[in-house]
Amino acid sequence: MIEAVVFDLDGVIVDSEHVWDAAREALARERGGHWHERAQQDMMGMSSLEWSRYMHDRIGLREPPEEISAEVVRRLESIYRKKLPLIDGAPEAVARLAERWPLAIASSSNRPLIDLVLELSGLGSYFRATVSSEEVPRGKPAPDVYVEAAHRLSTEPSRSAAVEDSHNGILSAKAAGMYVVAIPNTHYPPSEQALVTADVVLRSISELAPAIIEPPVVP
């Protein structure tokens, strides 16, 4: 029986993966880094500590990782405050599931960005817990952020469902032992290897309903 549902944020509730990509690429080029075509895919799902080190070590930015992270967050905050890129159907899907289960967020975004998205979208009241991967030892595809989200909802990962869009996110939720609903990201689609591990694959979040998470029992 499912006792809780945990949502990813980027790519599930906000259409932001390309925003992250553009902000990090622009910073890299402005500061003399060596951006390459696999950079975004490499960093997707990493915690802020992990991707800012990647920007320093692999992309070649001279600034300390914490300064790199803070600057990218500042740029995203500015973009979000001008126009938050909410995904069509996401608020309604969150509301539908909140009528039946306690909800949490398990995100690779920095804590300030999670809080800002929930404030600007008005969705904060639906979530009993939120976890940033900067608050756990390892980012996705490690299971840490999903395990912690279940813990904060006072349940077990095996009794929880996850809603994910990315390769590393799907693998993270599955590694935690959760029932995984995949909604493939259109900008950065997960591999077939990741998709086959999901329990359900949807075309859009508009299809997400309680019966997807826990089908009714047929007598």
74 and 131 in a single domain? The answer is no
Q: Mean pLDDT throughout 90-106? A: 98
For residue 32, being part of any structural domain is answered with yes
| Mean model confidence pLDDT for the chain | 94
Specify the higher pLDDT residue, 102 or 43.
102
**DSSP character at residue 198:** S
Strand order in the sheet with 4-7: 127-132, 103-107, 4-7, 160-164, 179-182, 200-201
132 and 200 in a single domain? The answer is yes
Residue range 109-165, pLDDT digits in tens: 999 999 999 999 999 999 999 999 999 999 999 999 999 999 999 999 999 999 999
CB-CB contact of 166 with 44 (8 Å)? yes
Please tell me the predicted confidence (pLDDT) of residue 186: 86
99 and 198 in a single domain? The answer is yes
Specify the higher pLDDT residue, 218 or 88.
88
Question: Domain boundary at 58, 82, 106, which?
Answer: 82
Please tell me the distance from the alpha carbon of residue 210 to that of residue 215, in angstroms, as a whole number.
7
Q: Which CA distances in Å does 78 have to 19, 72, 124, 140, 195?
A: 11, 10, 20, 26, 33
Please tell me the predicted confidence (pLDDT) of residue 122: 98
Whether a cis peptide bond, with omega within 30° of 0, leads into 143 is no
194 and 108 in a single domain? The answer is yes
Residue range 45-86, pLDDT digits in tens: 788 889 999 999 999 999 999 999 999 999 999 999 999 999
CATH number for the domain spanning 61: value is: 1.10.150
Tell whether the model's pLDDT for residue 216 goes beyond 70.
no
Tell whether the model's pLDDT for residue 2 goes beyond 90.
yes
For residue 219, being part of any structural domain is answered with no
By CB neighbour count within 10 A (0-12 exposed, 13-18 middle, 19+ buried), where does 99 fall?
exposed
CB-CB contact of 111 with 134 (8 Å)? yes
**This prediction's pTM:** 0.91
List residues bridging with 10 in a β-sheet.
Answer: 14
Residue range 7-54, pLDDT digits in tens: 999 999 999 988 999 999 999 999 999 999 889 888 887 888 899 999
101 and 164 in a single domain? The answer is yes
126 and 35 in a single domain? The answer is no
Specify the higher pLDDT residue, 188 or 193.
193
Give the torsion through C-alpha atoms of 116, 62, 33, 191, to 10 deg: -50
For residue 218, being part of any structural domain is answered with no
Tell whether the model's pLDDT for residue 107 goes beyond 70.
yes
Please tell me the predicted confidence (pLDDT) of residue 46: 85
187 and 92 in a single domain? The answer is yes
CB-CB contact of 140 with 172 (8 Å)? yes
Q: Mean pLDDT throughout 98-119? A: 97
Tell whether the model's pLDDT for residue 217 goes beyond 70.
no
DSSP state letters, 40-68: HHHHTT--HHHHHHHHHHTS---S-HHHH
**DSSP character at residue 109:** S
Tell whether the model's pLDDT for residue 212 goes beyond 60.
yes
For residue 77, being part of any structural domain is answered with yes
Tell whether the model's pLDDT for residue 99 goes beyond 90.
yes
Q: 136 is in which domain, residue-wise?
A: 4-15+86-213
Report the domain count for the chain: 2
For residue 62, being part of any structural domain is answered with yes
